[in-house]
Structure 1
Amino acid sequence: MYTACRKYMASSMEIISKEIIKPSSPTPNNLKTFKLSLLDQLTLHSHTAILLLYKSQHINNSDILNFFLSKTLTKYYPFAGRLEKDGITVDCGDHGVVFVEAKILGCRLSEFHAYPRCGMEVTIDISHKVVDGCMMAAFLNDWAATAHGEVRPPPMILAASIPSLDLGYMMPDIVINKAKTCVTKRFVFGAQKIGLLKQSVSGFVETPTKGELITTVLYRCVVTSSMEKMGCFTNSNLIELLKKEMKELHDGGDGQNLHDWLLSVRESAKNAKELFGHVNVYRCSDVHNAPYYQTNFGWGTPRWVTVPYLLVRNMFILLNTPDGDEIEAMVTLEEGHMKLC
C-alpha cells in the first residue's frame, strides 16, 4: 500500500519524508498467510487509489499520523503484506506500507479541481485485489478514529467470511494499451436529474438505487457510442461489483445457496479468457455510499473526494459529492468513444 500526504503550495514537488510504516504489533503466526476470497480472486490486477482534499493548509505532526497508521495496520494486517505470485495469497509478514509526505509549490487547485479552496490532500494507493473502495473507506475512518483515541471493533475481512476456492486460473494483469488514448471525464448527476430517472422507470423497476440508475444510463451511452463508432453492435458485458449480491447471500444465512453460488462463479471463471478476450467489458465500481466524507484526522472533513487517475478503459466509478445529494461519475473511455457520448 502507498499512502501520501501532500500540501499544495508549489509548482514543483518536494519530498519532505518517505518511510516504511509497519504494524505496531506483530501479526500472529496463524494470520501470516491470507487467502483472497473468491470475489477478490476474480478481480483484475490493478491498483485502487482514492484522494481526499481538505481545506486545511497545514498538517498535524506527521509523526503522529505515522504512529496511528502503525496502530491501525494491526487490524488491517493484509494491507501491510505482499501479494504472492500465485495472485491469490497475501504474505502478511508485516512488510509495511510506504508513507510519503510531499509539498507542491505554485499550484492553483482552481485550475484542475472542482473545489479550489482545498489546501491539503491525503491519497492512498493499494492493490484492488487486496482492498475495494468500501474497505478503503473503513480503513481511512479507522485510522482517523484511532488518531482521536477512539476504539473501534475489528473490520470484517471479506476472505474470512467468503471461502477461497481454487479457480485453476489467475486473472490477467491489466495492460495499458498506450496506442489507444483514454480520456477520463467527470459527470455530476444532481438530485433533480436522479429524481427524473426514477420517474422514467416507475412501473418497470421496483425501487432502483441511485447507483443502478446512473450505471444504466452510463452503460446505455457507451454502448450507443460504440455502435456509432464501429457501425454495428459489439458484444459487451457490464461487470458490476458483486459485493451486494454476495452480502445478501451471506447475511441470509443460507449456506447451501452461498455454496451453490460460489460453485457457479467458479464454473463461469473457466471462460474468463474468452470473456476478456472477445467481449467489451465495462467495469463499474459504486462506492457513493462509502463514508469517505466522514474521515476527520483533526482538521475537519474532506471538501472533496475523488480518484486521482483512471488508466483502465471502459471504467465507471460512482462517488458521492460533499452535500450527499448528487452522484459524481468518473468515466474513462477510449478518446473516440468519449467524443460520441
Structure 2
Amino acid sequence: MIKMKSEIVSRQTIRPCNPTPPYLKTFKLSLLDQISPGIHGNMTFFYPSNETTDDFSDKSKLLQDSISKTLSLFYPLGGRLRDAATIDCNDEGAFFVEATVNIKLSEFLNQPDFNLMDHFLPTTDPETMELSNGAMFLVQLTRFTCGGVAISLSLTHKLADVSALLTLLQSWSSVCRGLSDPVTPDLIGEKFLAPRDELSAMSASLNIEAEKFVLRRFVFSASKIAELKAKVDQEFQNVLQSHPSRVEVVLALLWKCAVATKKLKTGSFGPTALFQAVNLRKRLSPPLPETAIGNFIWPFMVIAHEEKDLELDKLVIQMRKSFNEFNNTTANMFRGEGAPLAIMGALKERGEFFRNNREVTVYKCSSWCKFPLYDTDFGWGKPLWHVSINKLVTNTIAFADTRSGDGIEALLTLDEEEMALFEQNEELLKYATLNPSIYG
C-alpha cells in the first residue's frame, strides 16, 4: 500500500486574456444542457519527466498562460452559472492549483490506487472549491518527486460531454505548444434547442445520496477481445449480417457478470436494464460538428427480463438492435419544431419506467473509445495514462482505449459486497486482468 501525502503549493484564478465583449455576456444553454446536472466531470493525465522541460514552474507558467488564451475562445467557461440554463460570461475565470506529492510517478502507475486519486483532483479539496467561487473549469498540476506530473481538469457537466472535453483539450494543448491555429469551438447553446422556461426552477446541482460503492479497473487485451468476439460472431452475423464491436462484446460480458454477482448476493435473478450513452453529433440530420460544445448525448436502453436473455450472443445482438433502432428513430427527435416536446416526453417516460419498475437493476455505460485522448500533448510529450474517476453513483461502466489503442480499460463501480464477488467471477477473469500495471 503506497503512503502518499500531497501538499497544495498555490491556488489562483486565471482570467481570459481578452475580455468577453458585452454582446456575448449572457450565454443561454441548450435544453440538453439545462437538464444536465451541475456537477464537475474530471480527467487526469499522467506524464513522465522529460529532459527538455522538467522545470515544474516553467510547465505551470506555460499551462496558466495557455488557459488564459484558451478561455477567450471558450468564453462561457470563464463565466459563472446564473441558473440551470444561463451562464453569466463575466470573465471571473478558471481556477488553477499547484500541488506536490511525496512519491515517484512510477510508484503510483505500477498499480494505480483509486483511493489516492483525490490527491490529484481540485474538486475534492474544500478550500479550493470555496476559493474558486463557482468556477466551471478547474485545473490542478501535481508534481511527483521524479519530475513527472499529473494534470487534472475538472469541467462543469453543464457545458461539456466527453466530445466537448476533447475539443477543449485539443485547443488548449495546441495553444500550449505554440500552434497558431488552435481548434475553435462551436458554441451553439440555445441555437440548437432553446431551454424551457418551465424547467427554470430545476436545480443546477445534483444531490446524490452517499452510497457505499467501490471502483475497480479491468483491462481487456486485444487478443482477449478477439476471443470474446469469436464466441458470438457466427450468431451475430446470421442475425445482423455484420460483426460485433469491441465495446459491445466487453460490455455484454461485464453486464452479464454483474447480474450474476447480484444473483449470488440476493439469491435470485431479477430483471435488469442497461443504459448506454450515444454521441448525437454525427447522428443528427443535418449532423452537428464534432467541435459543438455542450451535452449532445442521449442514452438508449436494453432490457433483460429473464436469465436466458443474458447469454452472451443474445445480449450482443439485442444491444446492436436497440442501438440501430435508436439511430433510425430516436435520434431524429432532437431536430425540428417538435424536438422540445419529444425530449420532455422521453424524460417523463424514463421517469415513469423507473417508478414502475423498481425491481429492475439498472447499469449505465459510457464509452470514450476512439476519442484520441492519448494525443493530449502540452509540449512535453504524450501521457502514459489518463483516467476519469466517478465518485458519485454506483452500477456504472466507463470504457477507454488502452494506450496501445487496441485494448479496452473498463472502470466499474459496484456495491462493495457485490464487487468482492464480481472480481472473483471465473468467466470474467478468463478475459480481463484486474488493475494491471500501466507499464504493461
Q: Percent identity?
A: 32
How far apart are residue 256 of structure 1 and its match? 8.0
How far apart are residue 332 of structure 1 and its match? 0.8
Q: Which amino acid aligns with 2:335?
A: L
Aligned residue among 403, 422, 440 for 1:322 = 403
1:249 aligns with 2:284: yes
CA contact (8 A) 2:167 2:183 kept: no
User: Where do residues 55-94 of structure 1 align in structure 2 (5 Å cutoff)?
Assistant: 55-56=48-49, 58=54, 59=56, 60-85=58-83, 87-94=84-91
Compute the RMSD of aligned alpha carbons: 3.1
How far apart are residue 233 of structure 1 and its match? 4.7
SS in 2 for 1:323: coil
Higher relative contact order (CA 8 A, sep 6+): 1
How far apart are residue 315 of structure 1 and its match? 1.6
User: Where do residues 5-154 of structure 1 align in structure 2 (5 Å cutoff)?
Assistant: 11-56=4-49, 58=54, 59=56, 60-85=58-83, 87-106=84-103, 109-111=106-108, 113-114=110-111, 119-150=148-179, 151-154=181-184
Q: Counterpart in 1 of 2:218?
A: 187
Q: 1:299 to 1:31 in 2, by over 3 A?
A: same
User: Where do residues 176-325 of structure 1 align in structure 2 (5 Å cutoff)?
Assistant: 176-178=208-210, 180-199=211-230, 200-201=232-233, 202-203=236-237, 204-205=239-240, 206-234=242-270, 236-244=272-280, 246-251=281-286, 258-259=335-336, 260=338, 263-271=341-349, 273-275=351-353, 278=358, 280-325=361-406
Q: Deviations over 1:26-45 (max 9, x none)?
A: 22333322233333334344
SS in 1 for 2:41: strand
How far apart are residue 66 of structure 1 and its match? 0.9
Q: Which amino acid aligns with 1:298?
A: G
Structure whose residues are more often helix by fraction: 2
CA contact (8 A) 1:43 1:171 kept: no
TM-score by length of 2: 0.66
Q: Counterpart in 2 of 1:332?
A: 413
CA contact (8 A) 1:311 1:332 kept: no
Distance 2:284 2:174 in 1: 31
Q: Counterpart in 1 of 2:140?
A: none
Q: Which amino acid aligns with 1:229?
A: K
SS in 1 for 2:391: coil
Q: Counterpart in 1 of 2:306?
A: none
TM-score by length of 1: 0.83
Distance 1:161 1:191 in 2: 42
| Rg (Cα) greater in structure | 2
Deviating more after overlay: 54-63 vs 320-329: 54-63
Q: Deviations over 1:176-228 (max 9, x none)?
A: 433x4211000111112222333314314434433333333323332333344
Q: Deviations over 1:61-114 (max 9, x none)?
A: 4222211110011111222222233x2222222121110111111456435654
Gaps of 5+ in 2: 113-143, 289-330, 423-440
Distance 2:204 2:257 in 1: 27
1:163 aligns with 2:161: no
CA contact (8 A) 2:30 2:193 kept: yes
SS in 1 for 2:209: coil
Gaps of 5+ in 1: 1-9
Deviating more after overlay: 257-266 vs 106-115: 106-115
Distance 1:262 1:221 in 2: 38
